[in-house]
Amino acid sequence: MFVDMPLEQLRKYQPERHEPADFDAFWERTLAEARQHDLNPVFTEVDMGLTLIRCFDVRYAGFGGHEIRGWLLVPATAEGPLPCVVEYIGYGGGRGLPHDWLTWPAAGWATFVMDTRGQGGGWRTGDTADPVGGNGPQVSGKLTQGVLDPDGYYYRRLYTDGVRAVEAARSHPLVDPARVVVAGGSQGGGSAMAVSALVPDLLFAFIDVPFMTHIRRALEITDENPYGELNQFMRNHRHRIDQVFTTLDYFDGLHFAARNTTPALFSVALLDGVTPASTGFAAYNHYAGPKDIRVWRFNGHEGGQSAQVAEQLKVARDLRTGGRPSSGSENGAAGPSEALRA
């Protein structure tokens, strides 16, 4: 059922942001610390039985110099630098296997898939450990790991890994560093929004049903996991609620959206109980760059799935040839470009 605002209200919903005064300084310091470690990207070509795709097992240094795994996939006939999509993964998932990621290579793009540290046990396997356990109590899962301190919070490491993934992708000779796009859904969508704000010279961002945005409202209107992990934590740590929100405000997608100048295509789903539509629209309406959105009226957290990919491929075709996306809208106004899908 519809559990959020009517669509007419969602289009106008632009809530107050609770932004830390040192938000920019926090992220500048975080990335400066990460870049003290040599990126050291290693691409090892592997035979995965895909005769039309070249597959590279990737390792690079993320947050703290920790080894992050990934895949780089390119069309087998590629000779020159290609546009590249850097993919971020939803909560609980890992990089899986190369044949899970064939859409963009089939469209003539390189694809860099970032494994998610400490995840990959819930669905699609992962291979990257998180050597930082976080201090203090936590609920099972990653959302409360280190949540009492911004410096030790899990998403500080994850978003930094995401920035370094772009840098690693750009280091490969088959990738055109000027044509890099970030993409993801749910946790991956939140990562794409954060990274595209922290790396301001990206070509485009595909942000689907984003997680970790307008977190305060999400905790008021849904108790589905992963947000349910935070609800459970604060239910037991009654006197630390303000401390938790202080940490979360450094990672809320609303603040990344307000700084973001990367052109973007969003998607939300009106029956989404995991990342409610108002949280996605809040980020979209605060988004400072050129933007467009697809609204999936009768879908839940799965969003548009392959139909949303079809929308992205339309945009990518124009990006690949150096033109402006035909489906783009710089003001995000509800109109023909904001297609309502059932």
C-alpha 244/C-alpha 10 separation (Å) is 27
Count how many residues are written for the chain: 342
Backbone torsions φ then ψ of 89, nearest 5 degrees: -110, 150
Torsion of CA 295, 299, 304, 305, to 10 degrees: 160
Can 286 be counted among the known catalytic residues? Answer: no
Contact 15, 33 (CB under 8 A): no
Quote the DSSP letter at residue 64. G
Residue 142 near residue 159, CB atoms below 8 Å? no
Residue 231 near residue 218, CB atoms below 8 Å: no
Rounded to 5°, the CA angle 111-117-118 comes to 140
Q: Is 186 one of the catalytic residues?
A: yes
Is 255 in a helix, a strand, or coil?
A: helix
Please answer whether residues 126 and 115 qualify as being in contact, where contact means their C-beta atoms are separated by less than 8 angstroms.
yes
Best CA proximity match to 92, nearest among 221, 181, 186: 186
| Residues with Cβ within 8 Å of residue 236, at least 6 apart in sequence | none
Q: Report the C-alpha gap between 266 and 292 in whole angstroms.
A: 6
Choose, from 66, 115, 161, 186, the residue flagged as catalytic.
186
Residues paired with residue 85 on neighbouring β-strands, in sequence order: 111, 181
Q: Which of 301, 318, 327, 337 is catalytic?
A: 301
Annotated catalytic, 191? no
Distance in angstroms (rounded) separating the CA atoms of residues 212 and 155: 9
Structure tokens given for 196: 């595209």
Catalytic residue among 172, 272, 278, 292: 272
**Structural contact between residues 271 and 299, judged by C-beta atoms closer than 8 angstroms:** yes
Assess contact for 123 and 147: CB atoms under 8 A.
no
CA–CA dist 234, 244 (Å, integer): 8
Point out the residues that are catalytic.
Answer: 186, 272, 301
